[in-house]
Amino acid sequence: MKMENLPVNSLSLDFLTEFLISLEKLENDRGCRGVILTSGAPKIFSAGLDIMEMYGKSAEHYAEFWKAVQEMWLRLYQSNMVTIAAINGSSPAGGCLMAMCCDYRIMAENPKYSIGLNETQLGIVAPFWFKDTMVNTIGNRATERSLELGLLYSPPEAHKIGLVDQLVPEEKIQSMAAAVMSQWLAIPDHARQITKSMMRKPTVDRLLTHRESDIQNFVSFITKDSIQKSLQMYMEMLKQRRG
């Protein structure tokens, strides 16, 4: 699956809806056993959640948007298919979450790219299931530090802490993803799927149990004046940085 919501593959409500439909089609296709998730946007895997979906909108809109974000996570994290992220660009916040949902992460060795959950840098807080996903990937201590400081890691740093499994020269990323896919597909599907579910179910169940309250938390948090102001300032900073 090549994501292409230019310029930066931000996860808008429309994009998430399309993503979910595409994923479901593949999930229901008996001939499809694995998916390589990558980007068609130059230099960006995904810029994460579309900030415009979290700014200046109604409470109903925020609730609908958040439900779609939850759904993306639930479907991707629990996919029966082998999922490999070929991270061919920067991958902050929601982009990092998508990559962490996959079974294996390969990142291009480009020093300009970065990956991490940088929410605190925007003045917002990653919800518990973002945190859980990161804990499951890199452990408790590295997650605590990453989340509090909103760290974005270079490819070698991300590899060192286990946030990505492998680095490759940019031009080799798709062929390497295909080679890794063959290794994973050599394992009988049912055994791999049951094992994946055993590893991930407790994390998934936690969100399923608290899904409604998580939506309410998001809406009451994001509608706060101080949070709206933080997001506005962050967007202005992005524009100024570009000059």
- For this structure, is 118 an active site residue? yes
* Alpha-helix residue ranges (DSSP H) falling in the chain: 13-28, 59-77, 94-101, 128-138, 140-149, 155-160, 173-185, 189-209, 211-222, 225-242
- Side chain identity at residue 207, one-letter code: L
The only residue of 3, 5, 8, 65 in contact with ligand CO8, by rule CB under 6 A:
8
Q: Output Rg (C-alpha) for the chain, integer angstroms.
A: 17
Binding flag, residue 94, ligand CO8 (CB under 6 A): yes
Site for ligand CO8 in 104-143 (CB under 6 A): 118-119, 122, 124-127
Q: 48 — phi, psi (to 5°)? A: 85, -165
Smallest distance, ligand CO8 to C-beta of residue 53, A: 8
* Residue found by looking up tokens 């479907």 in the block: 75
Q: Answer whether 150's CB lies under 8 Å from 119's CB.
A: yes
The only residue of 15, 76, 92, 168 in contact with ligand CO8, by rule CB under 6 A:
92
What is the pattern of x (binds ligand CO8, CB under 6 A) and - over residues 52-91?
x-------------------------------------x-
Q: Which helix (H) or strand (E) holds 23?
A: helix 13-28
Counting every residue, how long is the chain? 243
Smallest distance, ligand CO8 to C-beta of residue 79, A: 20
- For this structure, is 76 an active site residue? no
Residue 30 half-sphere exposure toward CB, CA atoms < 13 A: 0
* Residue found by looking up tokens 């090549």 in the block: 2
- For this structure, is 94 an active site residue? yes
Binding flag, residue 50, ligand CO8 (CB under 6 A): yes
Comparison of 69 and 82: residue with beta carbon closer to ligand CO8: 69
- For this structure, is 49 an active site residue? yes
Comparison of 34 and 155: residue with beta carbon closer to ligand CO8: 155
Contacts with ligand CO8, residue ranges (CB under 6 A): 7-8, 10, 43-44, 47-52, 90, 92-94, 118-119, 122, 124-127, 218, 221-222, 235, 238-239, 242
